């Protein structure tokens, strides 16, 4: 699935930063007056904090416009209320590439289906259409989080949905984050990605907003940061970019519209396809030099005209189900992606001249898809020509073996991504970190097994090119989903038999749990992990420790039992530590030494009654003496 840039100031090199700044100058109007972190009249650069508001002033910040509903600053938080329907507040400049963060809390809701949203492209007037990223109070529902558009007709166009691993509920602060790069966006909850989309439709001047629906929600720490335009480095908490190789080529005939559709429905962020020119100079999708393997025709594509290619069956070789599939033109593919959603990783094949590459780029421009196309090639000259023709297009260099200095090569070719084979990357996995420090992403090819996905994910690659996009998307999402906490009582060990002379420390182990949400009880009474367990205060017999650990992935409860057993040594320790009068302690120890347990019990109870021994301790001594006598 698609990945997005992290902190531009930390990860984007000087050359990319300049490119990003120029792109933003072209795409974004000047920041509105009063936006923190910007110079009035100047477009923000990657890394600039455009909005940073903690509402400490006690009133709505300058430039924040309550379009409808009740919006007030109370106790250092912005509170928006909508008893029914949808209410919004607009603010901030138009940005093409940005990170929008906030802490939010449902105070009250009419029902669990009600929601709040971060407005991603909303006119300052609040007029439709506008785009939002929503979170329901009942966020574990299948549509607990959404990307959606309110159309000019007043209807909702919900493009993407996801279930959160836990309910936002009421009274709970959640940290929400949306990272936007043009028409692409990623939705994060408490630092974990829930979903991505590549179907935003951007306006020329839409700004930001906060929206509430059927609820009262309080917001704090609203922050908006300008990002670089590339957005191909994977941020923390995000799964790898899923690239469908030749479309979903394990499930449909490669480089066809069927494969593209399956790849899109599989959750792929990019459809990867190969483009070549026909005899009459029309760009078509085909991997091989000839049409022999993947169609019912024969011959080199360069010897066939577009009219001839259009008659070929490109599906029957794969399965009778796909009989009649055609070899698509690049124009048809791009039109489908533009109207139905998706981005293209376009591999240039067999282009001998700059003019031949220009014929491909002309189609990308004619279809108005320069913001959704990423160009890659094995040939550096292809990438140089693309950069000359369309410097706004991101570039990736395919490699079967690593260059001696991939970072230098990336700088020379203006690369956004360096794309090695799996075998090449295995020879030197540290190159991923080297490229990242230079602001360059890595996409590895062509990887089709879970074992390999795990290995390259652990290398830190940003994307994986695969013939199995559905399987990779599911595997990757599960791998990055919040894990249910693991919890165990380490001491006393489960089943331990202890005597009163021992002083075990209460110890627990947890993973994927919030430290503030780890609770331990002993026989129902709260206990603090790390403290010494006083066995001199417990009755002989069985006792239960209950450990509860809560984290982003849910709550885990585990129990452990131990037994306090009466022993001569333990009873002696109990008497010595009792705090009784010296003469009383001496008498009790004498009876213990002679094994006179019945007498010992009577002595203890009398001493407790006379105040010479703590009453509770006296009963424990008597009970242990009785047990030893019986044993």
Place of tokens 């593919």: 333
Per-residue confidence (pLDDT) for residue 28, from 0 to 100: 36
For residue 484, name the pLDDT band (cuts at 50, 70, 90): confident
Q: Give me the mean pLDDT over the 150-162 stretch.
A: 93
180, containing H or E segment: strand 173-181
For residue 480, name the pLDDT band (cuts at 50, 70, 90): low
Known active-site residue 287: yes
Known active-site residue 321: no
Angle at 250 between CA 248 and CA 254, to 5 degrees: 60
Contacts (Cβ under 8 Å, ≥6 apart) of 104: 116, 135, 173, 174, 176, 217, 218, 219, 220
Torsion angle, CA of 488/494/497/503, rounded to 10 degrees?
A: 0
Per-residue confidence (pLDDT) for residue 5, from 0 to 100: 35
Dist. CA 356–CA 213, nearest whole Å: 53
Dist. CA 551–CA 537, nearest whole Å: 33
Q: Give me the mean pLDDT over the 414-418 stretch.
A: 97
Dist. CA 35–CA 49, nearest whole Å: 9
Contacts (Cβ under 8 Å, ≥6 apart) of 57: 73
**Mean per-residue pLDDT of the chain:** 90
SS3 409: helix
379: number of Cβ within 10 Å: 16
621 neighbors 603 (Cβ within 8 angstroms): no
Token pair of 76, please? 């250092």
Out of 71-85, 504-518, 547-561, give the one with best mean pLDDT: 71-85
Find, among 497, 543, 499, the residue nearest to 520 by Cα: 543
Token pair of 319, please? 């399965």
SS3 73: strand
242: number of Cβ within 10 Å: 29
457 neighbors 527 (Cβ within 8 angstroms): no
Per-residue confidence (pLDDT) for residue 230, from 0 to 100: 62
4 neighbors 233 (Cβ within 8 angstroms): yes
Q: Give me the mean pLDDT over the 306-332 stretch.
A: 97
544: number of Cβ within 10 Å: 12
Find, among 65, 91, 397, the residue nearest to 224 by Cα: 91
Give all strands (DSSP E) within 191-312, no chain letters.
Answer: 192-197, 207-226, 241-245, 270-277, 283-285
Contacts (Cβ under 8 Å, ≥6 apart) of 353: none
165, containing H or E segment: none
Beta bridge partners of 100: 178, 224
Q: Give me the mean pLDDT over the 380-399 stretch.
A: 97
The number of CA neighbours under 13 Å toward the Cβ of 11 is 24
Per-residue confidence (pLDDT) for residue 41, from 0 to 100: 55
SS3 382: helix
Dist. CA 431–CA 408, nearest whole Å: 12
Per-residue confidence (pLDDT) for residue 481, from 0 to 100: 64
Share of the chain above pLDDT 70, in %: 93
Name which residue leads in pLDDT, 201 or 440: 440
Q: Give me the mean pLDDT over the 218-230 stretch.
A: 91
The number of CA neighbours under 13 Å toward the Cβ of 19 is 21
Per-residue confidence (pLDDT) for residue 316, from 0 to 100: 97
Considering the candidates 287, 387, 414, 512, report the single residue annotated as catalytic.
287
DSSP state of 239: P
Judged against a pLDDT cut of 60, whether residue 33 lies above it is answered with no
506 neighbors 530 (Cβ within 8 angstroms): yes
Question: Does residue 284 have a cis bond before it (omega within 30 degrees)?
Answer: no
* 51-55, 101-105, 146-150, 499-503, range with the lowest pLDDT: 499-503
* 7-16, 121-130, 196-205, 611-620, range with the lowest pLDDT: 7-16
Q: Give me the mean pLDDT over the 116-144 stretch.
A: 95
493, containing H or E segment: none
Listing from the earlier edge strand, what are the strands of the sheet with 541-551? Answer: 496-498, 554-564, 541-551, 518-522, 525-527
Dist. CA 379–CA 236, nearest whole Å: 32
Dist. CA 96–CA 206, nearest whole Å: 10
Q: What is the DSSP string of 101-161?
A: EEEEEEEEESSTT-EEEEEEEE-TT-PSPEEEEEEESSTTSTTSEEEEEE-TTS-EEEEEE
- Taking each helix axis from N to C end, the angle separating 568-576 and 582-593, rounded to the nearest 10 degrees, works out to 170
Considering the candidates 245, 436, 543, 573, report the single residue annotated as catalytic.
245
Token pair of 252, please? 């449909």
Contacts (Cβ under 8 Å, ≥6 apart) of 486: 509, 510, 511, 512, 513, 549, 556
For residue 166, name the pLDDT band (cuts at 50, 70, 90): confident
Question: Does residue 504 have a cis bond before it (omega within 30 degrees)?
Answer: no
Judged against a pLDDT cut of 50, whether residue 621 lies above it is answered with yes
320 neighbors 275 (Cβ within 8 angstroms): no
Dist. CA 341–CA 358, nearest whole Å: 25
* Helix, strand, coil % over all residues of the chain, rounded to 5: 25, 30, 40
């Amino acid at each position: 699935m698609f990945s997005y840039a992290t902190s531009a100031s930390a990860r984007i090199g000087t050359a990319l930063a300049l490119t990003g700044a120029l792109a933003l100058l072209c795409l974004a109007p000047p920041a509105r007056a009063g936006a923190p972190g910007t110079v009035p009249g100047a477009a923000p650069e990657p890394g600039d904090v455009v909005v940073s508001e903690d509402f400490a002033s006690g009133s709505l910040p300058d430039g924040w416009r309550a379009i409808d509903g009740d919006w007030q600053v109370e106790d250092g938080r912005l509170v928006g209320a909508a008893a029914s329907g949808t209410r919004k507040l607009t603010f901030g400049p138009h940005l093409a590439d940005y990170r929008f963060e906030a802490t939010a809390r449902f105070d009250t809701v009419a029902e669990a289906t009600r929601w709040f949203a971060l407005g991603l492209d909303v006119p300052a007037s609040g007029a439709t259409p506008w785009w939002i990223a929503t979170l329901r109070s009942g966020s574990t529902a299948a549509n607990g989080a959404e990307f959606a558009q309110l159309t000019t007709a007043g209807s909702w166009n919900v493009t993407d949905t996801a279930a959160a691993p836990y309910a936002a509920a009421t009274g709970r602060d959640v940290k929400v984050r949306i990272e936007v790069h043009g028409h692409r966006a990623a939705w994060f909850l408490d630092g974990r990605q829930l979903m991505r989309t590549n179907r935003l439709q951007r306006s020329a001047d839409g700004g930001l907003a906060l929206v509430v629906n059927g609820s009262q929600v309080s917001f704090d720490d609203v922050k908006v940061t300008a990002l670089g335009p590339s957005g191909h480095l994977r941020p923390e908490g995000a799964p790898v970019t899923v690239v469908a190789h030749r479309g979903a080529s394990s499930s449909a005939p490669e480089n066809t519209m069927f494969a593209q559709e399956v790849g899109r429905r599989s959750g792929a962020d990019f459809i990867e396809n190969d483009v070549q020119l026909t005899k009459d100079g029309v760009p078509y999708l085909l991997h091989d030099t000839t049409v022999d393997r993947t169609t019912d025709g024969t011959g080199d594509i360069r010897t066939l005209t577009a009219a001839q290619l259009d008659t070929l069956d490109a599906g029957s070789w794969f399965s009778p189900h796909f009989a009649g599939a055609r070899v698509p033109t690049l124009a048809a593919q791009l039109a489908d992606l533009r109207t139905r959603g998706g981005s293209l990783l376009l591999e240039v094949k067999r282009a001998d001249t700059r003019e031949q590459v220009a014929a491909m780029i002309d189609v990308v421009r004619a279809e108005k898809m320069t913001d959704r196309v990423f160009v890659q090639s094995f040939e550096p000259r292809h990438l140089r020509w693309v950069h000359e023709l369309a410097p706004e297009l991101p570039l990736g260099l395919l490699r079967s073996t690593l260059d001696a200095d991939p970072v230098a090569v990336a700088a020379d070719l203006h690369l956004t991504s360096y794309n090695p084979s799996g075998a090449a990357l295995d020879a030197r996995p540290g190159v991923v970190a080297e490229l990242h420090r230079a602001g360059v992403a890595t996409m590895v090819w062509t990887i089709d097994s879970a074992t390999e996905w795990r290995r390259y994910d652990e290398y830190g690659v940003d994307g994986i090119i695969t013939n199995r996009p559905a399987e990779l998307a599911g595997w990757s999402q599960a791998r990055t989903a919040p894990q249910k906490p693991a919890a165990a009582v380490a001491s006393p060990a489960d089943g331990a038999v202890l005597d009163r002379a021992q002083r075990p420390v209460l110890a627990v182990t947890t993973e994927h749990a919030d430290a503030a949400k780890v609770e331990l009880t002993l026989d129902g009474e709260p206990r603090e992990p790390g403290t010494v367990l006083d066995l001199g205060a417990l009755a002989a017999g069985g006792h239960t420790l209950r450990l509860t650990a809560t984290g982003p992935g849910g709550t885990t409860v585990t129990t452990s039992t131990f037994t306090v057993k009466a022993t001569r040594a333990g009873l002696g320790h109990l008497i010595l530590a009792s705090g009784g009068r010296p003469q009383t302690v001496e008498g009790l120890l004498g009876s213990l030494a002679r094994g006179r347990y019945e007498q010992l019990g009577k002595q203890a109870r009398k001493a407790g009654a006379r105040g010479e021994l703590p009453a509770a301790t006296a009963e424990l001594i008597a009970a242990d003496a009785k047990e030893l006598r019986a044993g």
